[in-house]
């Protein structure tokens, strides 16, 4: 990457320059400031828009609550939230109920990974309906019963009750951590960041000539970039400056980006991700598509590594909980680890452009977690947890020891 000259935030989103030849033009274009806020305007009007992403995040948040309401939630009602139809009374707010958006239609549908793989896409969408059915049909009937190996029910993690199936898996954790990958990560890294989306049709020409979408203040390329941004910062109270509340704004990517700051090995991850988004957007405004693509690779690497890190962390911390006889905490950690492993399918190797893990590998890891011992997570061996941890860490730039700390 060419060296960037960083300045305090310029008040304008456009880069004005004069030049005498192409070399001067290229050098000037690379002197783009990294904005300190995600604020971009054209003719005094904001060009930033990601309302659809905010809507889906809020729908997904409400689904978490519904997973813990055995008196009201049914397979039908949870599936209706997942595949919401405009006007249906599925959520607590009119804004969500009146929306034509839903979660299911964007699960595992990225143009890079699933446009030519619709069978797998449909299977992944079905997996989330399977988690829903398991919660209602297996866990809800045992809501007030004590769980035990081979018996679903509740088990304490300190003063917090956790609700597991017979294998010790929390379906809500599989759903949430799996959705973090299948919706938010896949759409961000493999759809909106795809050159097949950003550069589709006349997008480059239109962006270069500041031709906006009809009736809108933004170009199509600007909007697609903003939609990627929305899947991680779209529910922030101040999305122009989301690092003020990062980790607190949703239960999905934002939460765990914030958690990275708790580990000194990964401190600064949230700033790096934000800076890449902001600089990439400024590069689009400045028509510097090479610089834009460099920022894409930064975000892909950071988010993919974050998911791998969390998967290994939860597998390893579960060992500590087992050793301390905190069985409820161990099962909770393993359930989170299960969901993050599910999400590894949607991470992306910035060098190859391919998934870091194939679907066959992920299916094998998940089966190993639940089937390698008679009672699943209840009696999973430390050898299995270490084997999985080492396999996952080997695909990323961290060690099992770093994740364990």
Is the distance from CB of 246 to CB of 270 less than 8 angstroms? Answer: yes
- The pLDDT of 249-264, averaged and rounded, is 94
| 17 within some domain | no
pLDDT at 18 over 90: no
pLDDT at 21 over 80: no
Q: 15: exposed, middle or buried (C-beta count within 10 Å: 0-12, 13-18, 19+)?
A: middle
Distance CA 223, CA 220 (A): 5
Per the prediction, the chain carries an average pLDDT of 93
pLDDT at 215 over 80: yes
> For residue 168, what are its two tokens?
């010790």
What does the pLDDT read at residue 392? 98
Domain range spanning residue 281? 41-394
What does the pLDDT read at residue 3? 28
What are the angstrom distances between the C-alpha of 126 and each of 116, 129, 174, 181, 343?
18, 5, 13, 15, 15
| 404 within some domain | no
DSSP assignment letter at 355: B
Distance CA 272, CA 190 (A): 19
| 83 within some domain | yes
| 251 within some domain | yes
DSSP structure string for 38-91: ---EETTEE----HHHHHHHHHHHHHHHHTT-TTT--HHHHHHHHT--TT---S
What does the pLDDT read at residue 305? 97
What does the pLDDT read at residue 405? 82
What does the pLDDT read at residue 30? 55
Secondary structure class of 263 (helix, strand, coil) = coil
| 22 within some domain | no
Task: Specify the range with the lowest mean pLDDT, choosing from 167-181, 258-272, 291-305.
Answer: 258-272
Distance CA 392, CA 388 (A): 6
| 399 within some domain | no
Q: pTM to 2 decimals?
A: 0.92
Q: Count the domains in the chain.
A: 1
Angle at alpha carbon of residue 380, lines to 379 and 386, rounded to 5°: 150
In sign, the C-alpha dihedral spanning 341, 343, 346, 351 is negative
Is the distance from CB of 32 to CB of 15 less than 8 angstroms? Answer: yes
Is the distance from CB of 400 to CB of 193 less than 8 angstroms? Answer: no
| 402 within some domain | no
Helices (H), 234-288: 253-259, 269-285
Is the distance from CB of 158 to CB of 165 less than 8 angstroms? Answer: no
Quickly state the pLDDT bin for 351 (edges 50, 70, 90).
Answer: confident
| 99 within some domain | yes
Query: Tell me: the pLDDT tens digits for 84-115?
Result: 999 999 999 999 999 999 999 999 999 999 99
Q: Closest by alpha carbon to 134, among 167, 173, 104, 171?
A: 171
Quickly state the pLDDT bin for 16 (edges 50, 70, 90).
Answer: very low
């Amino acid at each position: 990457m060419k060296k960037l000259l960083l300045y305090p935030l310029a008040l304008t989103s456009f880069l004005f320059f004069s030049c005498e030849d192409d070399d001067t033009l290229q050098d000037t274009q690379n002197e783009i400031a990294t904005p300190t806020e995600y604020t971009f305007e054209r003719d005094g009007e904001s060009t930033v828009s990601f309302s659809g992403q905010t809507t889906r995040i809020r729908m997904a948040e409400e689904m978490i609550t519904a997973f813990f309401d055995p008196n009201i939630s049914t397979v039908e009602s949870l599936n209706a939230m997942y595949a919401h139809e405009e006007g249906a009374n599925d959520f607590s707010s009119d804004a969500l109920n009146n929306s034509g958006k839903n979660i299911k239609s964007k699960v595992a549908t990225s143009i890079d990974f699933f446009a030519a793989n619709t069978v797998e896409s449909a299977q992944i969408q079905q997996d989330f309906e399977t988690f829903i059915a398991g919660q209602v049909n297996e866990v809800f009937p045992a809501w007030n019963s004590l769980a035990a190996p081979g018996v679903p029910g509740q088990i304490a993690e300190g003063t917090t009750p956790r609700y597991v199936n017979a294998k010790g898996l929390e379906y809500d954790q599989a759903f949430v951590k799996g959705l973090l990958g299948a919706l938010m990560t896949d759409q961000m890294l493999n759809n909106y960041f795809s050159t097949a989306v950003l550069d589709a049709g006349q997008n480059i020409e239109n962006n270069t000539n500041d031709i906006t979408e009809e009736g809108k203040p933004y170009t199509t390329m600007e909007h697609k970039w903003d939609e990627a941004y929305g899947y991680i910062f779209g529910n922030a109270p101040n999305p122009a400056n989301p690092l003020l509340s990062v980790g607190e704004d949703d239960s999905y990517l934002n939460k765990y980006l914030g958690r990275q700051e708790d580990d000194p090995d990964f401190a600064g991850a949230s700033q790096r991700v934000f800076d890449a988004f902001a600089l990439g957007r400024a590069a689009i405004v400045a028509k510097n598509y090479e610089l834009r693509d460099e920022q894409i690779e930064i975000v892909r690497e950071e988010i993919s590594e974050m998911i791998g890190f969390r998967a290994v962390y939860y597998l390893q911390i579960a060992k500590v909980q087992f050793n301390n006889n905190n069985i409820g905490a161990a099962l909770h950690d393993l359930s989170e680890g299960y969901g993050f492993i599910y999400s590894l399918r949607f991470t992306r190797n910035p060098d190859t452009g391919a998934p870091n893990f194939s679907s066959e590998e992920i299916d094998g890891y998940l089966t190993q977690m639940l089937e390698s011992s008679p009672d699943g997570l209840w009696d999973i061996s430390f050898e299995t947890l270490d084997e999985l941890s080492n396999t996952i860490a080997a695909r990323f730039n961290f060690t099992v020891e770093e994740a364990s700390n």
